[in-house]
């Protein structure tokens, strides 16, 4: 009875003893017999149950394997969020981008509508030599009884005694000069019209001249005399 019991427990007991001895004194053998999947391989004698670590077993042995690591544990709780990292340094300025392509030309706009007719009741250019009127409206005639005197006739319905005029010299027919001592053309309206027949507008024209002399002490010249002379000048007249 005793020998039978000993026979039944011999193999496990021997295996445990062998494993303990091998684990305590032969760790290098365990490491040497592990496969790449962390499985420990050993050979157990079919008759005695004695274990030895090996990659291949003999015919009188059977293969015994076990894992070097236990089963994977449960996933742990998620850790707290870490504090924000420090602000990074400012990056270098990027290179300028390439120039864009030129846009297409826009289409021409439509012509605007004609403006409303002007409100001037009469106007025209008077020539300095012939007193001929051009570019005119409602000026029916101009006479030049003497140098610098022009009498202007207006169309019916425009009363010279109740209106005024706007005048300007025309450089293409006056005496203005821009080189020193330079004469200057003068054109003025004479509201009394004492040199013209009744019912006419009177315009007087002339020139302003200056005489200059050099400073005897040296330096710039100075004006010595100013003259105003009646003289025919071309002009443009507007009756508002």
pLDDT tens string 163-182: 999 999 999 999 999 987 78
Compute the chain's Rg from CA coordinates.
63
Q: How many residues are there in the chain?
A: 240
> Mean pLDDT throughout 233-238?
98
Indicate whether 61 and 135 sit together in one domain: no
CB of 131 within 8 A of CB of 152?
no
DSSP 34: B
* Any domain includes 228: yes
Which of these, 52, 50, 15, 55, lies nearest to 33 by C-alpha position?
Answer: 55
Is residue 74, in this structure, part of any structural domain at all?
no
Are 154 and 54 found together in one domain?
A: no
Give the angle subtended at the CA of 232 by the CAs of 226 and 234, to the nearest 5°: 110
pLDDT digits (tens, 9 = 90+) for 104-153: 999 999 999 888 878 899 999 999 999 999 999 999 999 999 999 999 99
Q: Are residues 63 and 129 in the same domain?
A: no
Identify whether 99 is part of a domain. no
Looking at the structure, do residues 54 and 130 belong to the same domain, yes or no?
A: no
pLDDT tens readout for residues 184-205 = 999 999 999 999 999 999 999 9
Let me know if residue 73 belongs to a domain: no
**How many C-beta atoms surround the C-beta of residue 106 within 10 A?**
6
Domain that holds residue 156: 122-239
Contacts of 67 (CB under 8 A, 6+ apart): 38, 39, 40
Residue 39 lies in a domain: yes
In a domain, 223, yes or no: yes
Q: Which residues pair with 168 in a beta bridge?
A: 236
98 belongs to a structural domain: no
Contact 167, 150 (CB under 8 A): no
Contact 192, 204 (CB under 8 A): no
Any domain includes 43? yes
Helices (H) and strands (E) in the chain, counts: 2, 12
161 secondary structure, DSSP code: G
Determine which helix (DSSP H) or strand (DSSP E) holds 213, and give its type and residue range.
Answer: strand 201-214
Same domain, 59 and 136: no
Examine the pLDDT at 162 and tell me if it is beyond 60. yes
Is there a single domain that holds both residue 128 and residue 231? Answer: yes
- The number of folded domains in the chain is 2
Q: Do 57 and 138 fall into the same domain?
A: no
């Amino acid at each position: 009875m005793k020998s039978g019991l000993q026979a039944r427990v011999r193999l496990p007991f021997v295996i445990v003893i062998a494993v303990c001895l091998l684990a305590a004194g032969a760790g290098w053998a365990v490491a040497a017999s592990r496969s790449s999947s962390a499985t420990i391989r050993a050979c157990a004698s079919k008759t005695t149950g004695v274990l030895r670590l090996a990659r291949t077993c003999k015919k009188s042995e059977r293969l015994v394997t076990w894992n070097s690591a236990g089963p994977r544990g449960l996933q742990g709780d998620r850790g707290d969020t870490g504090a924000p990292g420090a602000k990074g340094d400012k990056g270098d300025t990027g290179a300028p981008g390439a120039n864009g392509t030129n846009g297409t030309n826009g289409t021409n706009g439509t012509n605007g509508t004609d403006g409303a007719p002007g409100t001037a009741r009469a106007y025209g250019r008077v020539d300095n030599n012939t007193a001929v009127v051009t570019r005119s409206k409602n000026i029916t005639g101009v006479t030049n009884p003497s140098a610098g005197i022009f009498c202007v006739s207006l169309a019916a319905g425009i009363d010279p005694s109740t209106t005024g005029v706007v005048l300007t010299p025309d450089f293409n027919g006056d005496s203005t000069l821009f080189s020193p001592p330079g004469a200057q053309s003068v054109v003025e309206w004479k509201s009394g019209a004492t040199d013209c027949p009744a019912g006419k507008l009177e315009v007087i024209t002339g020139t302003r001249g200056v005489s200059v002399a050099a400073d005897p002490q040296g330096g710039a010249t100075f004006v010595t005399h100013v003259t105003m002379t009646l003289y025919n000048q071309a002009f443009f007249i507007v009756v508002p």
